Amino acid sequence: MSNTESAHGGSVVAMARPRGMIWRSVVGRQELGVFLILLAMVVFLSLYTDTFLTSTNIFNILRAFSWIAISAFGQCMVIITAGVDLSVGSVMGLSGLASAMLLERGINVPVAVVGGLLTGLVAGFLNGLMITKGKLPPFIATLGSYLMARGLCYGLTGGWPVRGLPQSFRNLGQYDIPIAGFGVPLPLIFMLIFAVLTSIFLTRTVWGYRIYAVGGNETATALSGINTARVKIMVYSLCGLLTAIGGVLMTARLGVAAPTAAQGYELDVIAAVVVGGTSFSGGEGTILGVLIGAAIMQVLRNGLVLIGVSAYWLQAVQGLVIVVAIMLDQLRKRGR
């Protein structure tokens, strides 16, 4: 990618800036471009429709993109290592289903949730193994696991959804916490917590530094005495885990685990990451960007419905907006 003129890679370098550069660092942040796009969309929809800027609608948007965003945090790390994980939609469905099936057998909620999360973690770990030890390109390896995980969903259920999940489990996705007079959806709180945790992980830990280094130049990183295979296995495992968290929250929200759940979500997740400014060539990207990217995707979907775009045309418009948003962002980066 030819954004070589952009000043800083993002929050991984958010320290030790000389004085007087604070303003430049705000303006120069790579998230600024996509944030402006989000802002423009929100302003337009607020003026154009009466329904967009209501607390109900806003929280609906936020709730609905929580699990996409949580999975996208994991996907973001994967894409920073110059990889990709196509299996996230299937793994999201599978891990929610795993929790639901455990609950169905009368297992208590915490254990069932942990079971779901482990499912995602193991799926991610296996992705990592296929890519590092099996030497498969990430696209191929995760294409395989995408099909395998979805196949498991159908096979385990015989195609039937799992219903009758206990209320205490459903609360994870349905409960609203009263804060300042608003009912803030629980998944939103989870999402914000994981945004902060992932961001700190990426910018403040040894592992985070290594993730950027592997994506920036795997050869040089390996020659620096770093076990790049281990970094990648960890990243895919974390992606699986975060995706499973999203999957459990989604299942709790819906109150039912269908074998088709989260079908096609991998594209929403990848779109959120990419719209958020993460480069497919690796080595750059931030969680803040992903958050904004995921918000853009959801506002777009919601907004198009509100302004009366036919459901049949929705995807075409979404695709167009993604492409235009990324092109604008590229232009902005190149222009400096």
Partner 1 sequence: MSEQEITLRMEGIFKAFPGVQALDDIDFEAAASEVVALVGENGAGKSTLMKILCGAYRKDAGRIFLHGQETEIENPYHAQQLGIAIIYQEFNLTPNQSAAANIFMAREPRQQGLGRFLNFVDRRRMEREAQEHLNRVGARVPATALISDLSVAQQQMVEVAKELAVDARIIIMDEPTSALGEDEVETLFEIIGTLKEQGIAIIFITHRLEEVFRIADRVVVLRDGRRVGSMSISEATPDKVIHLMVGRELTEMFYKEEAEIGEPLMEVRGLTRRGVVEDVSFTLRRGEILGFSGLVGAGRTETARLLFGVDRKDAGEIWVDGEQMRITSPVDAVVAGLGFVPEDRGLQGLVLKLPVLENIVLPSLDNHSRAGWLDQRSLRNTAQTYVDKLNIRTPHLQQKAMFLSGGNQQKVVLAKWLALQPKVLIMDEPTRGIDVGAKAEVHALMSQLAQAGMGIIMISSELPEILGMSDRVLVMHEGRVMAILDRAEATQEKIMACASGEINNINATAKGAEA
The answer for residues whose C-beta is within 8 angstroms of residue 51's C-beta and 6 or more apart is 57, 306
Pair 270, 75: CB distance under 8 Å: yes
Residue 229 tokens, joined = 């295979």
Nearer to partner 1, 210 or 301 (CB): 210
Selected from 17, 24, 163, 334, the binder of partner 1 by CB under 8 A is 17
Cβ at position 290, least distance to partner 1 in Å: 18
The answer to the question of residue 10 lying near partner 1 (CB under 8 A) is no
Q: Site mask, partner 1, residues 135-164, x = CB under 8 A?
A: ------------------------------
The residues with which 25 forms a beta bridge, in sequence order, are none
Query: Does residue 85 bind partner 1 (CB under 8 A)?
Result: no
Q: Are 252 and 172 in contact (CB under 8 A)?
A: yes
- Nearer to partner 1 by Cβ, of 216 and 289: the residue is 216
DSSP H or E stretch at residue 183: strand 182-185
Query: What are the backbone dihedrals phi and psi of residue 257, each rounded to the nearest 5 degrees, phi first?
Result: -110, 100
Q: According to CB under 8 A, which one of 32, 36, 42, 222 is a site residue for partner 1?
A: 222
Judged by CB under 8 A, the residue of 10, 11, 12, 131 near partner 1 is: 12
Candidate residues 2, 18, 106, 179; the one interacting with partner 1 per rule CB under 8 A: 18
Residues 6+ positions from 26 with CB-CB distance below 8 Å: 32
Q: Which residues of 289-307 are buried (b: 16+ CB within 10 A; e: fewer)?
A: bbbbbbbbbbbbbbbbebe
Round the CA-based radius of gyration of the chain to a whole number and report it: 20
CB of 202 to partner 1, least distance (A): 11
**What character string, x for contact with partner 1 (CB under 8 A) and - otherwise, covers 272-311?**
-----------xx---------------------------
Segment interacting with partner 1 (CB under 8 A) among 69-77, 167-175, 220-228, 240-248: 220-228
* Spatial contact of 76 and 273, defined as CB atoms under 8 Å apart: yes
Q: Which two tokens stand for residue 146?
A: 């995408």
Which CB, 12 or 257, lies closer to partner 1? 12
In the complex, least distance from residue 275 CB atom to partner 1, rounded to whole angstroms: 20
Rounded-to-integer distance, Cα 273 and Cα 294, Å: 7
When binding is defined by CB under 8 A, the residue of 161, 207, 309, 314 that contacts partner 1 is: 207
Q: Which two tokens stand for residue 242?
A: 């975060």
Q: How far is the CB of 314 from partner 1 (least distance, A)?
A: 36
Q: Report CA-CA distances (Å) from 306 to 41, 48, 324.
A: 13, 9, 21
**Binding residues vs partner 1 (CB under 8 A):** 4-5, 8-9, 12-13, 15-18, 204-207, 209-210, 212-213, 216-217, 219-227, 283-284
